[in-house]
């Protein structure tokens, strides 16, 4: 079966648009997840009382439910309470709700990997708790958390593939539409896979690179 | 007074249909998990090979599932099968195939990690005692590897249950689709139905996954040496 | 024996219980400015805990610790202030692995004491010179040997201009040939009149450097005497037995 190049060229701009949309949603989602995750992990690390319990509940909720179900509830359920959210906002909120829990766990285990001896060492030169976090704990926690952060980023980008369910014109909805209209299944699916590879491989390699760099720079106590 | 709409969940009939939908999801997850464990152990042991070509191939297979979203795999098989066989393969079958392929890859990596995580001197001291290769595995390697394998494998099960929610995309009538049908049916007399139904499905998934992931964490903590 | 000067550290009736077990069981100790006191005793006798109670890394239940006449801790001299004047060096060096040698040394003076970076750098270089490591300022801790790391840890504490230095078994995890280079640095400090409280198992070093030896057992100080006297004729049976474990004949 010959590849229909004309078809591909004709719809390439559509694929470009859909990919860009995915990048935009994922970027916002990841950024906000990291912010939410760092805050949650610090709340847990410093054992803030009431907030800690809420954060723990949130993390369990976000990690033990699928994004798809979270999105359905956000997009079709919540508006019934009179709160209207656009599909783009929904996508970003959903991604942040999901990602925040995963990011929080990644940062938390990083924070906890910093040894007691390091804390004592920092205390013994008179650092206060903010200075401790800023200069001693966080930099070390971050380098430990990098592999998990990378995995989370890739996970979140992949999760954007369900966004078509809330009327977002992403790669999946484009694919479905084109197959339905033109039956150029081979071409459509091929471009779909290529687009996702273009999206994810660079991120994957970037984190591999960072990890390797960090391994050189760290530890060896 | 306006109807709060909660009664949509109190209907015995609705509840039974939702549970049937959930059953379909769980069935896909369960069958896939079984196949994954079986094939995953084989695949994982192959991956511990020192043969670089074999390892490279295995690795490629694993990375393919790690990089490309599962939903894309579902599309590939679903639409691809239509092309190859002229008619749609059943969504249920496609789902089980994709989840088993993915599960095998992940399960295999867990097995490989568990076997390789055992320090070399464990093997060496066993050999120094005069144990034969098979005895080394039976008494030293496998008991330790199992303790690393089980928590991670259970954790993978929750991931697979969560991911089975995707089967709605390939036309399987599972809990989400049933929910949608109930909502559409009640559109006129109960506009709040979608809030309650989706909240319910959300909670159901949580109730399903939370205890399992908690259990896996507890096992992990218990077996940590 | 040195002339008795100002009391810099006074500990009275210090008690600490950990997990229901008493670790410190009423410790009284006074250290004078310029004095070098060495604490010895069997493992688990509370030596390390004693040091950590002095700069608040461990909290005690009863008794008081006074530094320069002021009570430390709750309601008294704030720990973050006290720790600037009390330097501590640990057994496991505990340099910050993500910072260069220079950054390790400068962190406290610049961030805590808010001193100008240029001035701190100058002092740090001088101190590094003194321990023979001025050429390693741009290295990361993992590039250094154990002995070098420990000397940097000493410099890190010294750069805060402390009035009292605490040393917690600083040579215990070093290879034998590296012990000397660290002890030499400490000996130099002692000769310059630094006030030091040292927990160690290096008996020869204690003989050479200590003004006073403090023998601890089961959470209390059981013997306290001038160094030479202690090693020649310990008063208690327990101390005698302890010293004997260091000789094979």
Greatest mean pLDDT among A71-80, B27-36, B181-190, C219-228: B27-36
Put simply, the answer to whether A201 touches B67 (Cβ < 8 Å) is yes
Give the model confidence (pLDDT) of C23-79 as tens digits.
999 999 999 999 999 999 888 888 999 999 998 888 888 999 999 888 987 777 888
**CA-to-CA separations, B59 to A18, B43, B100, C131, C247, in angstroms, rounded:** 30, 10, 17, 51, 59
Q: Which pLDDT band, with edges at 50, 70 and 90, does B106 fall under? A: very high
Q: Is C116 helix (H, G, I), strand (E, B) or coil?
A: coil
Give CA–CA dist C57/C25, Å, rounded: 18
| ipTM (interface predicted TM) | 0.89
C-beta separation of C216 from C41 below 8 A:
yes
Which has the closest alpha carbon to A103: A203, A206, A45, A33?
A33
Closest Cα in chain A, distance from residue B155 (Å): 11
Q: Which residue has the higher pLDDT, C244 or A99?
A: A99
Helices (H) and strands (E) in chain B, counts: 10, 0
Count interface pairs A-C at CB distance under 8 A.
83
Structure token digits, residue A91:
């996508």
Structure token digits, residue C157:
């504490």
Give CA–CA dist A40/A221, Å, rounded: 29
Closest Cα in chain B, distance from residue A73 (Å): 5
Structure token digits, residue C239:
């101390």
Which has the closest alpha carbon to B115: B157, B144, B136?
B144
Question: Which residues lie closer than 8 Å to A203 by C-beta, 6 or more apart?
Answer: A150, A153, A154, A157
pLDDT on residue B225:
57
pLDDT on residue C66:
92
Asked if residue C8 has pLDDT above 70, the reply is yes
Put simply, the answer to whether A125 touches C140 (Cβ < 8 Å) is no
What is the residue extent of each domain of chain B?
A: 6-224
Question: Which residues lie closer than 8 Å to C154 by C-beta, 6 or more apart?
Answer: C89, C131, C170, C182, C185, C186, C189
Phi first, then psi: what are they for C94, rounded to 5°? Answer: 55, 45
**Homologous superfamily, domain B6-224:** MetI-like (1.10.3720.10)
Helices (H) and strands (E) in chain C, counts: 9, 10
- Out of 1.10.260.40, 3.40.50.2300, 1.20.1250.20, 1.10.3720.10, the CATH code matching A5-219 is 1.10.3720.10
pLDDT on residue A221:
35
Put simply, the answer to whether A65 touches B202 (Cβ < 8 Å) is yes
A17-43 core/surface letters (b: 16 or more CB in 10 A; e: else): ebbebbeebbebbbebbbebbbbbbbb
Query: What value does the mean pLDDT of chain B take?
Result: 88
Greatest mean pLDDT among A168-182, C39-53, C151-165: C151-165
Put simply, the answer to whether B176 touches A69 (Cβ < 8 Å) is yes
Q: Which residues of A touch C55 (CB under 8 A)?
A: 123-124
pTM for the model: 0.84
pLDDT on residue C1:
47
Query: What value does the mean pLDDT of chain C take?
Result: 90
Give CA–CA dist C115/C121, Å, rounded: 10
Q: What percent of chain C has pLDDT over 90?
A: 57
Q: What is the DSSP letter of C18?
A: E
Strand-pair partners of C11 = C29, C65
Which has the closest alpha carbon to B175: B184, B186, B164, B185?
B164
Closest Cα in chain C, distance from residue A120 (Å): 6
Closest Cα in chain A, distance from residue C43 (Å): 19
**CA-to-CA separations, C86 to A126, C90, C111, in angstroms, rounded:** 9, 13, 16
DSSP B71-112: HHHHHHHHHHHHHHHSSPPPHHHHHHHHHHHHHHHHHHHHHH
Mean pLDDT of C81-85: 89
The answer to whether the Cα torsion of C91, C97, C101, C104 is positive or negative is negative
Q: Which H or E element spans position C123?
A: helix C117-130
What is the residue extent of each domain of chain A?
A: 5-219
Question: Which residues lie closer than 8 Å to B17 by C-beta, 6 or more apart?
Answer: B178, B181, B182
C-beta separation of A108 from A45 below 8 A:
yes
Put simply, the answer to whether A69 touches B199 (Cβ < 8 Å) is no
Give CA–CA dist B208/B185, Å, rounded: 27
Give CA–CA dist C171/A203, Å, rounded: 46
Mutation site for A-interface testing, chosen from C79, C90, C96 by largest number of A Cβ within 10 Å:
C96
Phi first, then psi: what are they for C29, rounded to 5°? Answer: -155, 135
pLDDT on residue A2:
64
Q: Which residue has the higher pLDDT, C20 or C122?
A: C122
Q: Using CB atoms, list chains with 3+ pairs below 8 Å to chain B.
A: A
pLDDT on residue C249:
64
Put simply, the answer to whether B165 touches A63 (Cβ < 8 Å) is no
DSSP A108-172: HHHHHHS-HHHHHHHHHTT--HHHIIIIIIHHHHHHHHHHHHHHHHHHHHHHGGGGGGGT---HH
Angle at B102 between CA B100 and CA B106, to 5 degrees: 110
Mean pLDDT of A114-122: 91
- Packed helices B91-116 and B52-67: angle between N→C axes, nearest 10 degrees: 130
Q: Is B54 helix (H, G, I), strand (E, B) or coil?
A: helix
Query: Helix %, strand %, coil % for chain A, to 5?
Result: 85, 0, 15
């Amino acid at each position: 079966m010959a590849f229909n190049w004309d078809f591909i060229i004709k719809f390439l701009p559509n694929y470009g648009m859909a990919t860009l949309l995915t990048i935009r949603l994922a970027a916002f989602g990841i950024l906000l997840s990291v912010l939410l995750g760092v805050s949650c992990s610090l709340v847990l690390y410093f054992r803030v009382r009431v907030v800690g319990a809420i954060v723990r509940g949130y993390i369990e909720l976000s990690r033990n439910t699928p994004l798809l179900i979270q999105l359905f509830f956000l997009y079709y359920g919540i508006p019934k309470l009179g709160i209207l959210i656009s599909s783009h906002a929904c996508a970003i909120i959903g991604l942040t709700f999901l990602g925040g829990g995963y990011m929080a766990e990644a940062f938390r285990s990083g924070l906890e990997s910093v040894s007691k001896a390091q804390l004592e060492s920092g205390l013994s030169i008179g650092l206060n708790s903010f200075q401790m976090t800023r200069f001693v704990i966080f930099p070390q926690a971050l380098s430990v958390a990098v592999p998990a952060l990378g995995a989370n980023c890739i996970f979140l980008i992949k999760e954007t593939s369900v966004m078509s369910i809330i009327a977002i014109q992403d790669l999946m909805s484009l694919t479905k539409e084109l197959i339905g209209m033109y039956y150029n299944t081979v071409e459509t699916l091929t471009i779909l896979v290529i687009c996702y590879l273009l999206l994810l491989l660079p991120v994957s390699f970037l984190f591999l690179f960072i990890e390797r760099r960090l391994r050189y720079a760290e530890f060896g106590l | 007074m306006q109807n709060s709409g909660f009664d949509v969940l109190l209907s015995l009939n609705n509840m039974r249909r939702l549970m049937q939908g959930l059953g379909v999801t769980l069935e896909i997850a369960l069958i896939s998990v079984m196949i994954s464990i079986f094939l995953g152990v084989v695949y994982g042991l192959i991956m511990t090979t020192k043969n670089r070509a074999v390892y490279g191939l295995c690795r490629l297979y694993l990375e393919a599932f790690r990089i490309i979203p599962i939903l894309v795999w579902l599309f590939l098989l679903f639409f691809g099968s239509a092309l190859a066989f002229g008619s749609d393969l059943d969504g249920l079958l496609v789902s089980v195939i994709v989840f088993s392929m993915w599960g095998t890859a992940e399960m295999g990596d867990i097995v490989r990690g568990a076997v390789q995580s055992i320090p070399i001197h464990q093997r060496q001291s066993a050999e120094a005692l005069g144990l034969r290769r098979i005895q080394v595995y039976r008494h030293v390697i496998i008991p330790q590897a199992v303790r690393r394998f089980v928590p991670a494998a259970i954790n993978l099960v929750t991931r697979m249950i969560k991911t089975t929610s995707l089967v709605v995309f390939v036309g399987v009538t599972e809990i989400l689709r049933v929910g949608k049908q109930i909502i559409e049916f009640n559109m006129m007399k109960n506009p709040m139905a979608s809030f309650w139904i989706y909240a319910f499905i959300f909670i159901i998934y949580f109730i399903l996954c939370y205890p399992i992931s908690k259990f896996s964490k507890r096992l992990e903590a218990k077996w940590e040496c | 024996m040195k002339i008795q000067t100002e009391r810099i550290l006074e500990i009275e009736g210090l008690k600490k219980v950990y997990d229901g077990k008493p670790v410190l069981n009423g410790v009284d100790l006074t250290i004078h400015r310029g004095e070098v006191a060495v604490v010895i005793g069997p493992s688990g006798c509370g030596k390390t805990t004693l040091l950590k109670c002095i700069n608040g890394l461990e909290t005690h239940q009863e008794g008081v610790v006074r530094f320069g006449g002021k009570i430390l801790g709750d309601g008294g001299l704030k720990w973050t202030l006290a720790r600037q004047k009390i330097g501590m060096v640990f057994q496991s060096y505990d340099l910050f692995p993500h910072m260069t040698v220079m950054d390790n040394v400068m962190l406290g003076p610049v961030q805590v004491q808010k001193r100008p970076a240029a001035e701190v750098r100058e002092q740090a270089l001088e101190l590094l010179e003194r321990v023979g490591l001025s050429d390693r300022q741009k290295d990361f801790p993992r590039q250094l040997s154990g002995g070098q790391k420990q000397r940097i840890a000493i410099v890190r504490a010294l750069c805060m201009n402390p009035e009292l230095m605490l040393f917690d078994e600083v040579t215990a995890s070093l290879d034998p040939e590296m012990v000397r280079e660290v002890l030499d640095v400490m000996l130099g400090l002692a000769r310059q009149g630094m006030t030091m409280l040292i927990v160690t198992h290096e008996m020869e070093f204690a003989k050479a450097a200590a003004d006073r030896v403090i023998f601890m057992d089961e959470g209390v100080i059981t013997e306290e005497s001038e160094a030479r006297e202690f090693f020649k004729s310990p008063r208690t049976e327990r101390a005698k037995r302890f010293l004997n474990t260091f000789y094979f004949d």
